[in-house]
Structure 1
């Protein structure tokens, strides 16, 4: 699923330092796709606070985050977010990859990892969105089996403005939900 030498691990509080370093290395690379971040986000303390929040969301079943590691460094992340159970059984996939590790099939591998994880916890449907001009991310989703189903106007607040997104979905199965 991933290239040799890469490993996905669940996000842990001990990752704060390496995650701060990864976001620092990729600050310019990720800026066009991310919300405006406060300076504290790029610090170890800021990452510890963010990880603590995310681990709390995971404990409640709303978010599941995995970091991509290579040679002792975090070089990417993938998350199953906005998990809704009941009759919907759906979640949103989001990911990013270090600028030095692009073009190796890693993003597709991360998305497929989350797909398998979602199947394992009984999810029915995954959704993902990309900015209209993010054709590389659209290609990742298509390679992972997602199908485009629409465009959401002013969908997310990115870079200080509301931005339209192309929406994709992947239906995992048609079994009845387990509550």
Structure 2
């Protein structure tokens, strides 16, 4: 039991240290009862900026930094909007997993195997409802959020090629 709690604290600390992670691109999948949607995403945690483009439509959204407005192909998003669902795994404090007032889950345990960490989640009121967050321990990022009603997943994760970045060449993201 003690080892489980120690691992949970380690994984939570890893996620809460998200602003130190280098920029990356990925394919983001959001699966629900409505089907699966795929997005090409670029996430730069250090600069708190992101870009998301739906693979089967012209829909896109972006945020150029924490203090910047968020835009989509339909216009400016309301101030204070959380990141798009497709990029939230790159900004783990925006995930509904921390046991805050409106969160769906709270962390209750952890396990590790094959270079991945899994944080076990439990609904704060209905204790029979579980979920999980899977972490890529080498990259230090969340790569999957699973609940009874949806799965958010990042796949094909790669370091950003700054020459092809949605934000142009940048040295800030490559600093270690």
TM-score clears 0.5: no
TM-score with structure 2 setting the length:
0.30
Q: Judging by fraction of residues, say which structure has more helix.
A: 1
TM-score with structure 1 setting the length:
0.30
Q: Judging by fraction of residues, say which structure has more strand.
A: 2
